[in-house]
Amino acid sequence: MDSIPLEAVYQNMYSEYPELLEVKDLCKLLGYEKKKVYQLIKDGQLKKIPCGRKIKVAKATVIDFVLQGAQK
């Protein structure tokens, strides 16, 4: 089976979401509660981008996180 080019994965995975995700988006996308998402950010598993009072995470960071989990 041929592997999908990584570039295509980043272009197509979660394409319906914006490039910067808020915590509520992460909860919906990952299927986690807010507490779990904040813990992942605190532990450094999801790198945050401070944006005023809001915390945002780049969609590419989330894709990396999901792909790493899939490899385990």
* Domains of the chain, residue spans: 16-71
For the whole model, what pTM was predicted?
0.81
* Tens digits of residue pLDDT in 9-58: 788 889 999 999 999 999 999 999 999 999 999 999 999 998 899 999 99
Contact 37, 25 (CB under 8 A): no
Ranges of H-type helices in 1-72: 6-12, 23-30, 34-42, 59-71
Note the CATH architecture for domain 16-71: Orthogonal Bundle (1.10)
